[in-house]
Structure 1
Amino acid sequence: MTQTPSSPLPADLPPSIHTAYGYVREGIEVAQGWILSPAAWSQFALLVVAYLVARFLAARFLPKVETLLRPADAGAKGALSEARRVAVRFLPLGLPLLAYVFTGLGENVTRSIFGSGAVIAFGKRVFLLLAARALVNSILKDPFLKVLGKYALMPIMILYTLGLLDPAVLKLSQTIVGAGNIKFSLLSVIRGLLAGSVLFWLGRWSTGQSRTYIVAQETMRPATRELASKAAEIAIFGLSFLLLMNIIGMDLSTLAVLGGAIGVGIGFGLQRIASNFISGVILLLEGQATVGDFVELDGGEAGTIVKMTARAAILETYDGRWIVVPNEDFITTRVVNYSDSGSANRYEAAFSVSYDTDINTIPDLINAAVAKHPDILDAPYPPDCELRGFGDSGIDFAVEFWVNGLDEGDNKYTSDVLFLIWNALKDNNIEIPYPHQVVEFKNGLPPVAKA
């Protein structure tokens, strides 16, 4: 096999292997130069001194700083207490950052004396690598950020520490990928993926914070709070998208092509998604149904709206089931809202009395008994007992009453009223009939056969 004059490796090996071998040889030569250089040993000594001083100061002062920052009450709430807890979490960065600062001071000294500072500059990069490692292992708690730090930040810091980051960036910027007329460098793609990941996390976090703040504004109507929350979410993610396009270097005019593709998608397969999104915006603007309302749909589904998304509303029934109802159903079908901002609702309880009863006394007796319930309203109408008909076994009555709320879940209005009716009738010796039949023999009883 033939060999190139500059490399002892066979010439027919891939260029990448020759390049890697060149970097290895260069690293060995640099290491040999450092070992034989008095200036390099002086810089090594300064690195050791800077690390020991940083370790001494960190051991002595960081525990005091932690005691000062940590809130005295572990359960304390508020922005200041939360900021102090966050500051405590960043204390593991103290040691490597102190070493980095002291190394920087030593670098100025060595460069002024020896005119060289390559070793101490490498040491500074090592301390930054240790700071990044502490950030990923001890500070980041969010699973997404932890994965991003482990598989993105750490490789970048390792390349930076070894002095290979600039060559890697140059190589990635020269590698072009794309489809059709759209071309990107591989560096732009990687930068876009990293920036998109960070912006997505920031957008999700910002949306959660803004939603928490908006929901806490009790003076706003529920529909207004929901609309403000959705508007904030759209604004945050829209801004994140524009920032991402700017970071990867995409001309915003090219979004016209993307908009055309989305239009075709809506025309062929996304009509229902678009319809549900627009219906959700209409619901939020009109406020006909919002979070907290108890609604019954035309199909028989009934429950309390616990969440409204861009596509659907989530109903929770009183037996604990969640029903996902598309927003479009609230616009195109009949919806009964039983709890529009706590409006009163009417119910009725039916009962019967015996035919031996003086029915003229029943309305006043029952109205007075039902009115004793603390949740029964006098407005818009007080309890109203009505004669409904003459049944097979007794005379049928029903009492209508109004309450604030629903006769479901924790509320047992109808049950309570029936108990009041039962006790009132029993106290006045009024019989509550039960079903019975009377059999009449027109020609007398049939003869009984004698044994």
Structure 2
Amino acid sequence: MDGQAQIITTALGYLNQGWALAQGWLLSPAAWSQFALLVMAYVLAVLVARILRPKLAALLTPEAAQQNMLANARRWLLVFIPLMLPLFAYAFTAMGESVVRSLFDSGAVIAFGKRVFLFLAARILVQEILRDPFLKLLGRYVLIPVMALYAVGLLELVSTQLTETVISLGNISFSLMSIVRGLIAGSILFWLGRWSNDQSSAFIEKQQEMRPATRTLAAKTAELMIFGVAFLLLMNIMGISLTSLAVLGGAIGVGLGFGLQKIASNFISGVILLVEGQATVGDYVELDGGEAGKIVRMTARAAILETFDGRWIVVPNEDFITTRVVNYSDSGSANRYEAPFSVSYDTDINLVPAIVEAAVATHAKVLSEPFPPDCELRGFGDSGVDFAVEFWVNGLDDGENKFTSDVLFLIWNALKDNGITIPYPHRVVELHDKRGT
């Protein structure tokens, strides 16, 4: 009951102070003159903004086809045009403030008006300018309440109360203000870290002269550095000593080291893969365990393979180091395939290699280096003479590429044009009369 009475008494004291302040403003000529100045500043800001806004919008709006740095900067500035009205009102009020203070030696109403204009600017920023969902949420529940308290002059009081309210947990004590500051600063820092990481990753991916593995390693290094700096800054803002964290981190590290050996092994294996570049994003690989596919992503723990039938396989990075890996597309190396076929025994087989090799060489993807198409005699089958043509291509014979199928079509057409038939099995059936006749 005593606590409730104290709260009621304090609230009544603030109400009395507010009423006394309002009476002073309503009955004071200096206050009325300051009110008039605020109204004039706002009206003048409306007129100036109405004149300048279309001109400034036309000046800052680039052509749709322009995508350079200057055009992007103009588009970025264009979104802040709605702030013109409250900022002009604040500027005009500030210019008249010195005159009022020199005449009446008072500027409380002017100061209140300036804070209100800043509150309006913050409200417009959150409602009309911010597009990122996280920043919009942060502005709605943090920036606007803080600016409202600042406008009515209670921000310092609330800040003092939060600072003086201390919470103790054993030997550790901290104020509510440090928690609020940490939450706000942490949210902003890690949003900036995420944004910076996205920008740096996009910039690194554009550097086509770098190997894919080098680009991935650079992106991961930038990510670790950005979030590491964000964490250190957050600890400094919250007033937490890094020395005390070192002892705690050492104890946690020993405990987790045994349980997270596989994760650490995969992380180190991933770094080795990125440094050596033996398998990187875009390569088609096949592991001893039977996993095969194109590497579409490499994370700190595993590589993600995409098969030609659309399935994703998550392979730990350690498997690339400890097992045999066949890389079919490292550095764009060519691959050799062969297409088997047969011809009839009635064919002059000495003519077949030249005909088939010439036909296969017409394929746009078949290479002449390191070797041109080579047709070889493989054996004499039950129904015909067996041949196979070997050819080299850049890429894999699957997915979007159907090299063997295309080559077989070329062989069929070439043999048909030269009157050479492809045999099919023949069976001779003999019938015997059981009577011996």
TM-score clears 0.5: yes
Shift of 1:230: 1.1
Tell me the residue number matched to 1:381.
371
CA deviation profile, 1:12-66 (whole Å, cap 9, x unmatched): 6254343333322322221122112221111111111111111111111122111
Tell me the residue number matched to 2:21.
30
Tell me the residue number matched to 2:129.
139
- Structure 2: distance between partners of 1:67 and 1:343: 53
Tell me the residue number matched to 2:174.
184
SS of the residue corresponding to residue 326 of structure 2 reads: strand
- Structure 1: distance between partners of 2:417 and 2:243: 84
Greater Cα offset, 128-137 or 57-66: 57-66
Shift of 1:368: 2.3
Q: How does 1:394-405 map to 2 (within 5 A)?
A: 394-405=384-395
- Structure 2: distance between partners of 1:406 and 1:11: 82
Tell me the residue number matched to 1:69.
60
1:166 aligns with 2:166: no
1:49 aligns with 2:40: yes
Which amino acid in structure 1 is aligned with residue 35 of structure 2?
F
Change (3 A) 1:230 1:86: same
Change (3 A) 1:98 1:304: same
- Structure 2: distance between partners of 1:94 and 1:390: 89
- Structure 1: distance between partners of 2:318 and 2:7: 58
Change (3 A) 1:434 1:179: farther
Shift of 1:437: 2.9
SS of the residue corresponding to residue 350 of structure 2 reads: helix
Change (3 A) 1:105 1:432: same
Q: Is the 8 A contact 1:211 1:229 kept in 2?
A: yes
Tell me the residue number matched to 1:306.
296
1:151 aligns with 2:141: yes
Q: Is the 8 A contact 1:266 1:274 kept in 2?
A: no
CA RMSD between the two structures: 2.1
CA deviation profile, 1:221-243 (whole Å, cap 9, x unmatched): 11111111111111111111111
Change (3 A) 1:253 1:342: same
CA deviation profile, 1:406-444 (whole Å, cap 9, x unmatched): 212322211111011111221222221223433345xx3
Which amino acid in structure 2 is aligned with residue 373 of structure 1?
H
Q: Indicate which of 272, 282, 289 corresponds to 2:272.
A: 282
| Number of aligned residue pairs | 437
Change (3 A) 1:395 1:160: same
Tell me the residue number matched to 1:390.
380
- Structure 2: distance between partners of 1:276 and 1:424: 52
- Structure 2: distance between partners of 1:236 and 1:419: 55
1:18 aligns with 2:9: yes
Tell me the residue number matched to 1:433.
423
CA deviation profile, 1:305-332 (whole Å, cap 9, x unmatched): 2222222222223333333322222222
- Structure 2: distance between partners of 1:12 and 1:149: 34
- Structure 2: distance between partners of 1:377 and 1:156: 69
- Structure 1: distance between partners of 2:396 and 2:2: 85
- Structure 2: distance between partners of 1:387 and 1:90: 76
Tell me the residue number matched to 2:414.
424
Q: How does 1:326-365 map to 2 (within 5 A)?
A: 326-365=316-355
CA deviation profile, 1:382-417 (whole Å, cap 9, x unmatched): 212222233333332211111111212322211111
Tell me the residue number matched to 1:97.
87
Gaps of 5+ in 1: 1-9
Change (3 A) 1:34 1:421: same
CA deviation profile, 1:175-209 (whole Å, cap 9, x unmatched): 22354443322111111111111111111111111
Quote the sequence identity (%). Answer: 68
Q: Indicate which of 304, 309, 321 corresponds to 2:311.
A: 321
- Structure 1: distance between partners of 2:115 and 2:156: 14
1:107 aligns with 2:107: no
- Structure 2: distance between partners of 1:25 and 1:324: 68
Change (3 A) 1:445 1:139: same
Shift of 1:289: 0.7
Change (3 A) 1:430 1:215: same
Shift of 1:446: 4.3
- Structure 1: distance between partners of 2:100 and 2:343: 108
- Structure 1: distance between partners of 2:47 and 2:369: 77
- Structure 2: distance between partners of 1:299 and 1:246: 48
- Structure 1: distance between partners of 2:134 and 2:374: 62
Gaps of 5+ in 2: none
- Structure 1: distance between partners of 2:262 and 2:40: 68
- Structure 2: distance between partners of 1:321 and 1:151: 43
TM-score, length-normalised on structure 1? 0.91
Which amino acid in structure 2 is aligned with residue 107 of structure 1?
E
Q: Is the 8 A contact 1:354 1:430 kept in 2?
A: yes
Greater Cα offset, 173-182 or 218-227: 173-182
Greater Cα offset, 293-302 or 175-184: 175-184
- Structure 2: distance between partners of 1:377 and 1:272: 44
